[in-house]
């Protein structure tokens, strides 16, 4: 690709001064060349967002919804191109890239539907004699322009989860995509620029991570929505305590397999879901399965099935239709995973399959007998590594899930309704997935975590609430 891919500043295609080359994590080939925004271009994007904020907030519901539908349909129309672009810049296999594009189509469609119901509420206040003749109308209004900072692992859909809700509530947004994978977000910027939204409504600019603090601090962007690592997210929160900061951070998602989940069909399903979703996206998902706590009654057959299914996963060139596990985002990421696994093995863990690295690819790996203080247990591996451990009961499994500084999602395989409700009550996570891996996410449901997994919620309706606040009008002297 010889033509430089533009940034989008207030609806216009521009080029910065410093080139940004994007290379394939799989083979290092050049995927595309874009640029970093200049200081003047950053200022233009922020100033445009601030200048259009009042107009954006007043946009009729139909205008927001029609633009969101147009974006959804434009993504669908270019779905093959977008999927290939995600695979090229991110390294995830084509099957997962296609799924990501399909989810982005749905996110913008959901946002259009939610925008059409964004009507506020009316309440009579004459529940007390002193309030006779009074009526309240409550509407939600944008908190102001949003700074959206997205990660590399879902370069289209996690961008969609920030831009679509912002447009739906009438909030301008400045997107800073991950420098490793900016091209999907830039193409989305092109699609948004083709709508009738005001020019300052959406800007997509590349900014080096080390230079982002001034953008975070800009008072004209009162909302910051960040998805990424915990240390960076909490640093943002500390830097701008007066802003509304939404953080979707890491996890080390756990699964509990209960004793009642014991039939051949049960174990086949559980092992398939665990094997697949500990390795999809190359393990680079904050709700990818990392820890499995299985009741001793089912541990051995489950272990054997998981190991055989993980070992059978097709790895290699992400551009091939049947590749299930591709490379990690770069060789440094794979080396870090390699170091963590080697540390665990040196402390007594055993590798049942995998445990090897080739360049940026780390083989799907299953470990047992892992120390509870090992990094692969305590931290977020963010790679294709799975830990298996037998437990005496659901009590022990739930305690192990909660013995973590993270709390994003957990999976519980059980047929017991009582156990399911107990898990929902006791597990310290943002979401409990019963009968499946914790990696399940529907884009309309609330998604986020507790503890060091973040603050606030994604999911279209819930992000819209995060980006807005209630404003009450009380009418007086009415004959109700």
Q: Which residues are catalytic?
A: 248, 286
Dihedral sign, CA of 413, 416, 419, 421?
positive
DSSP state of 175: E
DSSP state of 354: -
Rg of the chain in Å (alpha carbons): 24
- Select from 303, 272, 275 the least CA-distant residue to 389: 303
DSSP state of 237: H
407: Cα separation from own chain's centroid: 14
- Select from 225, 205, 215 the least CA-distant residue to 150: 225
442: Cα separation from own chain's centroid: 12
Written as six digits, the tokens of 170 are: 């009438």
**Angle in degrees, 0-180, between the axes of helices 94-116 and 79-90, rounded to the nearest 10:** 120
Written as six digits, the tokens of 130 are: 């002193």
Task: Return phi, psi of residue 400, to 5°.
Answer: -70, -40
Q: What's the CA gap between 150 and 226, in Å, rounded?
A: 6
For the chain, the residue count is 480
Q: What's the CA gap between 48 and 45, in Å, rounded?
A: 5
Q: What's the CA gap between 383 and 342, in Å, rounded?
A: 14
Task: Write the DSSP assignment of 252-285 as a string of letters.
Answer: --EEEE-TT--SHHHHHHHHHHHHHHTTGGGG--
C-alpha dist (Å) from residue 474 to 117, 118, 140, 395:
22, 19, 15, 51
168 contacts 139 by C-beta, under 8 angstroms: no
Q: What's the CA gap between 346 and 335, in Å, rounded?
A: 16
Q: What's the CA gap between 333 and 292, in Å, rounded?
A: 23
Q: What's the CA gap between 323 and 316, in Å, rounded?
A: 6
Written as six digits, the tokens of 281 are: 């996206």
408 contacts 290 by C-beta, under 8 angstroms: no
Q: What's the CA gap between 116 and 65, in Å, rounded?
A: 7
Task: Write the DSSP assignment of 427-451 as a string of letters.
Answer: --SSEEEETS-TT---TTS-B--EE
- Select from 258, 254, 343 the least CA-distant residue to 297: 258
């Amino acid at each position: 690709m010889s033509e430089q891919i533009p940034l989008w500043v207030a609806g216009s295609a521009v080029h910065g001064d410093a080139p940004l080359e994007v290379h394939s994590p799989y083979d290092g080939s050049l995927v595309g060349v874009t640029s970093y925004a200049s200081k003047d271009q950053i200022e233009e994007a922020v100033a445009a967002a601030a200048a259009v904020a009042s107009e954006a907030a007043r946009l009729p519901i139909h205008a927001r919804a029609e633009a969101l539908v147009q974006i959804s349909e434009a993504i669908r129309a270019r779905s093959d191109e977008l999927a290939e672009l995600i695979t090229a810049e991110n390294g995830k296999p084509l099957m997962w890239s296609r799924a990501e594009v399909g989810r982005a189509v749905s996110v913008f469609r959901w946002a259009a539907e939610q925008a059409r119901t964004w009507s506020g509420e009316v309440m009579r206040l004459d529940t007390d004699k002193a309030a006779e003749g009074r009526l309240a109308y409550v509407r939600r209004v944008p908190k102001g322009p949003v700074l959206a900072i997205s990660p590399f692992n879902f370069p289209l859909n996690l961008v969609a989860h920030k831009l679509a809700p912002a447009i739906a509530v009438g909030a301008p947004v400045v997107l800073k995509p991950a420098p490793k994978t900016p091209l999907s977000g830039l193409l989305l910027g092109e699609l948004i620029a083709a709508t009738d939204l005001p020019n300052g409504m959406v800007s997509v600019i590349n900014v080096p991570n080390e230079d982002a603090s001034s953008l975070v601090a800009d008072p004209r962007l009162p909302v910051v929505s960040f998805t990424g690592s915990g240390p960076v997210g909490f640093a943002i929160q500390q830097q701008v305590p007066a802003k509304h900061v939404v953080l979707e951070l890491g996890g080390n998602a756990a699964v509990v397999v209960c004793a009642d989940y014991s039939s051949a069909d049960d174990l086949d399903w559980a092992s398939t879901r665990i094997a697949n979703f500990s390795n999809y996206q190359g393990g680079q998902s904050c709700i990818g399965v990392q820890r499995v706590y299985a009741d001793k009654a089912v541990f051995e057959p489950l272990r054997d099935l998981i190991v055989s299914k993980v070992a059978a996963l097709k790895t290699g060139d992400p551009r091939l239709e049947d590749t299930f596990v591709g490379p990690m985002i770069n060789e440094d990421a794979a080396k870090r995973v390699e170091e963590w696994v080697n540390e665990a093995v040196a402390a007594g863990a055993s590798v049942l399959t995998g445990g090897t690295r080739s360049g940026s690819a780390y083989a799907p790996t299953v470990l047992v007998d892992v120390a509870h203080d090992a990094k692969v247990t305590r931290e977020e591996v963010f790679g294709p590594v799975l830990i298996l451990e037998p437990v005496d009961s659901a009590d022990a499994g739930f305690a192990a899930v909660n013995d973590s500084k993270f709390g994003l999602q957990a999976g519980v395989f059980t047929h017991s309704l009582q156990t399911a409700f107990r898990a929902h009550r006791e597990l310290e996570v943002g979401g409990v997935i019963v009968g499946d891996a914790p990696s399940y996410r529907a884009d309309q449901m609330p998604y986020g975590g507790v503890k060091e997994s973040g603050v606030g919620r994604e999911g279209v309706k819930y992000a819209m609430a995060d980006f807005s606040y209630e404003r009450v009008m009380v009418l007086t002297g009415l004959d109700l």
